[in-house]
């Protein structure tokens, strides 16, 4: 036992540090939901849609393998796209042009952010700064920024401040995320009926 204690002390004294994963790397997240409710996960990816797949002209990024900085999830046009975790909408690209087309970025409390690209119609009233819950609709899926690929959501997971992000491979995160049958229903519960006074008839009951 003393031998072990001595060894431990020796390790500590040597200043050996353990490479502890950051919270952002500690994937998967138990509370996360899949960004496309009702879409079968198993058939949602195509080879070129995998994280780190080859993209011409984008090989300089060390964090994205051969250039593809997200995962492409196939789904029909018009499918609901939901936030995978609670957070704050911190960027919206309204323009349809450009590589990612129309997109939304949601910042989460753990320092990560999730990106939803190739969107069509943004949810009415969606604004930067607003808080969203896991499963809450952000937009419908479109083909903005897509030319020949099948219709897909480009989903990305990053850590770091806007403009200085590092991309993480979201594959494990997505595999463990809960698949919702439908987006979160945000319609307020109907108000309870206001009690009406029962008018008593002055006539004797028959």
Site for Zn ion in 91-120 (CB under 5 A): none
Asked if 29 interacts with Zn ion (CB under 5 A), we say no
In the complex with Zn ion, which residue's Cβ is closer, 87 or 100? 100
Between 123 and 154, whose beta carbon lies closer to Zn ion?
Answer: 154
Q: Which residues make Cβ contacts (< 8 Å) with residue 132, sequence separation at least 6? A: 83, 86, 87, 88, 89, 106, 138
Interface with Zn ion, residue 154, by CB under 5 A:
yes
CB 102 within 8 A of CB 146: no
As measured in angstroms, the least distance from the Cβ of 2 to Zn ion is: 57
- Closest-by-Cβ residue to Zn ion is 154
Stretch of residues binding Zn ion (CB under 5 A), selected from 12-20, 51-59, 71-79, 165-173: 71-79
Q: Is 20 helix (H, G, I), strand (E, B) or coil?
A: coil
Min dist CB 177 to Zn ion, Å, is: 18
Q: Which residue has the tokens 């919702």?
A: 180
Query: Smaller CB distance to Zn ion: residue 52 or 135?
Result: 52
Query: With respect to Zn ion, which residue has the nearer C-beta, 29 or 72?
Result: 72
In degrees, rounded to 5, the angle at the alpha carbon of residue 139 between the alpha carbons of residues 126 and 30 is 95
Q: CA 177, CA 117: separation in Å to the nearest integer?
A: 19
Cα distances from 198 to residues 20, 155, 195, 201, in angstroms, run 68, 57, 9, 9
Q: Does 72 engage in binding with Zn ion (CB under 5 A)?
A: yes
Q: How many residues bind Zn ion (CB under 5 A)?
A: 3
C-alpha span between 138 and 81 (Å, rounded): 6
Cα distance between residue 84 and residue 135, in whole Å = 6
Complex with Zn ion: residue 72 or 165, whichever CB lies closer: 72
Region of 82-90, 103-111, 135-143, 153-161 interacting with Zn ion (CB under 5 A)? 153-161
**DSSP 8-state symbol, 76:** -
Shortest Cβ distance from residue 147 to Zn ion (Å)? Answer: 12
Binding site for Zn ion (CB under 5 A): 70, 72, 154
């Amino acid at each position: 036992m003393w031998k072990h204690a001595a060894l431990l002390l020796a390790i500590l004294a040597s200043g050996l540090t353990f490479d502890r994963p950051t919270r952002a790397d500690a994937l998967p997240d138990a509370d996360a939901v899949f960004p496309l409710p009702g879409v079968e996960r198993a058939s949602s990816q195509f080879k070129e849609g995998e994280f780190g797949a080859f993209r011409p002209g984008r090989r300089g990024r060390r964090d994205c393998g051969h250039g593809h900085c997200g995962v492409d999830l196939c789904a029909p046009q018009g499918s609901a796209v939901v936030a995978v975790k609670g957070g704050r909408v911190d960027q919206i690209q309204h323009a349809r042009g450009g590589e990612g087309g129309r997109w939304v970025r949601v910042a989460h409390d753990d320092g990560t952010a999730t990106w939803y690209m190739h969107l069509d119609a943004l949810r009415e009233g969606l604004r930067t700064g607003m808080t969203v819950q896991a499963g809450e609709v952000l937009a419908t899926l479109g083909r903005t920024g897509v030319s020949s690929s099948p219709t897909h959501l480009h989903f990305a997971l990053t850590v770091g401040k806007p403009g200085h992000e590092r991309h993480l491979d979201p594959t494990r995160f997505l595999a463990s995320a809960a698949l919702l049958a439908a987006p979160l229903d945000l319609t307020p519960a109907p108000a309870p009926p206001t009690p009406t006074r029962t008018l008593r008839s002055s006539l004797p009951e028959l």
